[in-house]
Structure 1
């Protein structure tokens, strides 16, 4: 008996009872349960290097799938000679990446080439690509992948052999397409709402270029009519507008399940404070400076220079909290105006100048020396009211998208069965 026959018999002996999802479309509720096929029965591994190096080089990302590098912020250069060994990726192919054990298998909507380090999978006939595009990004599949890859760590990649040993839930092609259509319609809705969000952000960014003075200018190009004759804005240092509050140095031994919340850079996203990644310490710990509503939390040190300088204003209703040593707090009576200043090129350019090429932190003393043009209090208030109303629209749109994503994730849990959910 050949090894192939032995493998086939082994797989057949390992077959499990029919799977059944918790939620099923009406057309299929009277159908039998789903089958299960192994990865290599559904996908073939392809390694086509027959190209003239004239195809776009694809970046393999968790956020965008396989996408031409020129469409995203991707700065890795590739020598012309090395591109000759790159693999051709067709529209509809799937790619196993270094991070597949974290984010699933990526899908390509583009014809291009990718690094030979990646494993390119091509779906065999009789299956819906959109069905597998959804399935291979589910939390259940990723958990199943990790379970099958005991000991896999950063620096190692899922092999085709390892993928081929995974049983995949397979309904009829008609049910595959129904599930794909449902989830794809949600994707389209999420994309449309994301475009609205991008439009709002772009509108605010363009407006800020008009209502704050540009480099070399002392007044904005767009001004409320009641302030047109108020003259130049005053150039001041950040230290003239408020003070810094240093962060808490703590060790892993200080961390507990509840207590005093410690805000870190991971709690800042898009200018908002999020509490989905929280660390707590003993409320009586020494050296903790409590934050207050309207304090501005600023990241001043991080392994990634891209995160340094990002900031958010502490909202009212926050639980008792302090901030970590890689953070600082700026406290001021005009905090909401300064928070908007921190979204301008005047702030971002000074942060970038401080960081230079190799430094991954900004010094508090230097931060207080940053220079800005500011108007008198009544004009500050008008600017804050205008920009805050846009921030509220952006926040509401962001919440809407988050809700849609959570809805889709919950729906996927219902539409795809786990291997322990079988017909009895």
Structure 2
């Protein structure tokens, strides 16, 4: 904490060699750099080009919101666009005035930027570029943007708001130490992200081989013990099981305690292991509706019919909840022909997801209905041991993906906590 009357600020965490160093200086971003808005020639389509003399044209969609650097653009503009736009150079910082709100990026290319970008150029010698990047990314700066953004609906930033951002900075050696520490952590986070994506890509590729392509009766990859097994068979799901939904639950039926009641959004979140704030219906209403429709049972499948369409949830032992009619399709799988685990994986496959996409795209508003589900074609091996072998293999991969994803999230959380300590927050700033 900074002492009363001091002019600077002190972070809560300093590296050992700087613990006795002076307090950090303070300034506003406009004192340390030039903050300017991009520009857009109109109409932009008239300036786009594929010719060799074209200039890079950076759009919001060209930048991965989790990235640190801007490395490419998808389009170019003719040199005549320079009278209407602005050029920024490698080493400059940019941030969007609306999308990825207040999130800075470091340019590694020379490019023109449209008026959705704000550039931070001409950075003063007393503030290192990488340090400034992390300072703007720090929670205190991001909170400043949220608190001061313009607009009552969609909030946005302008150059004046960004110029006025308070910036606290130590000596250049300490700045570099902080930037190096956070850069190393970013590299660890990026490597972990690549690991997660590689596992997901491997799973997608494996599923393409473990399930037959449309019109085929054998997958391209079978486990050794099933290579001489019979061809897979195809049936519509309506032939294999009863498919329906729940009874109508009105908003007036919701209560504060009782039996959990899930809509599509809650079911998707639960499937991902994300927290939810469940709604409830009374025990009496649940009992009444269960007499009419039955209760969910282990091995049955619930599939979202609206919103994020076609997301499956496998009912597990001990599950007890009710769900929104129409929004969620109920596949009352008796596990006579299909094991529950295999049916779940079947709904993850490109074969079934492609059918869902086609069916849902027929109407003006995409939906996956009970009738769609009945017409959905399932391709499967007769031997349930093969079904389970496939499901177990993919479940093992999911466990790995979940573990690595949690590690990725833990690294990001650690970085946020570290930045809160490495950069002064408002309560650390002296009066």
Question: Offset at 1:217?
Answer: 0.6
Distance 1:101 1:217, change over 3 A: closer
What SS does the aligned partner of 2:112 have?
Answer: strand
Residue 351 of structure 1 pairs with residue 356 of structure 2: yes
Does the CA-based 8 Å contact 1:91-1:109 persist in structure 2? yes
Match of 1:24 in 2: 14
Q: Assess, with a 3 A threshold, how the Cα gap between structure 1 residues 82 and 231 changes in structure 2: closer, same or farther.
A: farther
Determine if contact 1:248/1:323 at 8 Å carries over to the other structure.
Answer: no
The CA distance in 2 between the partners of 1:372 and 1:114, in whole Å, is 49
Shift of residue 160, structure 1, vs aligned partner: 0.7
Query: SS at 2:262's partner residue?
Result: strand
Measure, in 1, the Cα distance between the counterparts of 2:381 and 2:391. 12
Q: If the length of structure 2 is used for normalisation, what is the TM-score?
A: 0.79
Alignment partner of 1:341 out of 342, 346, 349: 346
CA contact (8 A) 1:62 1:103 kept: no
Give the gaps of 5 or more residues in structure 2: 42-46, 48-52
1:60-100 deviation line (CA, Å, top 9, x unaligned): 55333646454xxxxxx999799664432322323332436
1:372 corresponds to which of 373, 378, 397: 378
Q: Any residues of structure 2 matched to 1:18-417 within 5 Å, and which? A: 18-46=8-36, 53-59=54-60, 60=63, 62-64=65-67, 66=70, 68=72, 70=74, 85-99=84-98, 102=101, 104-126=103-125, 127-149=127-149, 151-154=151-154, 156-242=155-241, 243-246=243-246, 249=249, 251=251, 254=254, 260=260, 262=262, 264-265=264-265, 268=268, 272-284=271-283, 286=285, 296-302=301-307, 307-313=308-314, 321-324=321-324, 326-332=327-333, 333=335, 334-356=339-361, 358-376=364-382, 377-417=384-424
Q: Is the 8 A contact 1:97 1:118 kept in 2?
A: yes
Residue deviations 1:383-414, cap 9 Å, x none?
Answer: 11111111111111111111111111111121
Cα contact 1:301–1:362 (8 A) shared by 2: yes
- Give the TM-score normalised by the residue count of structure 1: 0.80
Distance in 2 of aligned mates of 1:37 and 1:343 = 53
Aligned residues: 397
Distance 1:80 1:386 in 2: 52
CA distance 1:48–1:374, shift in 2 (3 Å):
closer
Partner of 2:50: none
- Paired residues of 2:135 and 2:141 also in contact (CA < 8 A): yes
Going from structure 1 to structure 2, the CA distance change for 1:20 and 1:191 (only over 3 Å counts) comes to same
In structure 1, what is the Cα distance between the partners aligned to 2:258 and 2:118? 43
**Greater mean alpha carbon deviation, residues 346-355 or residues 414-423:** 414-423
User: What is the root-mean-square deviation of aligned Cα atoms in Å?
Assistant: 3.6
Give the match's secondary structure for 2:198: helix
CA–CA separation in structure 2 for the residues paired with 1:160 and 1:39: 10
Deviations 1:280-321 (A, max 9, x none): 33545857877666554433212xxxx322334456677x64
Are residues 68 and 423 of structure 1, via their aligned partners in 2, closer, same or farther at CA, if it must alter by over 3 Å? same
Gaps of 5+ in 1: 1-14, 71-76
Structure 1 counterpart of 2:44: none
Contact 2:54/2:79 (CA < 8 Å) preserved in 1? Answer: no
SS in 2 for 1:298: strand
Q: 2-side partners of 1:35 and 1:418: how far apart?
A: 14
* Paired residues of 1:263 and 1:279 also in contact (CA < 8 A): no
Closer/same/farther in 2, CA of residues 330 and 136 from structure 1, 3 Å limit: farther
**Deviation of 1:213 (Å):** 0.7
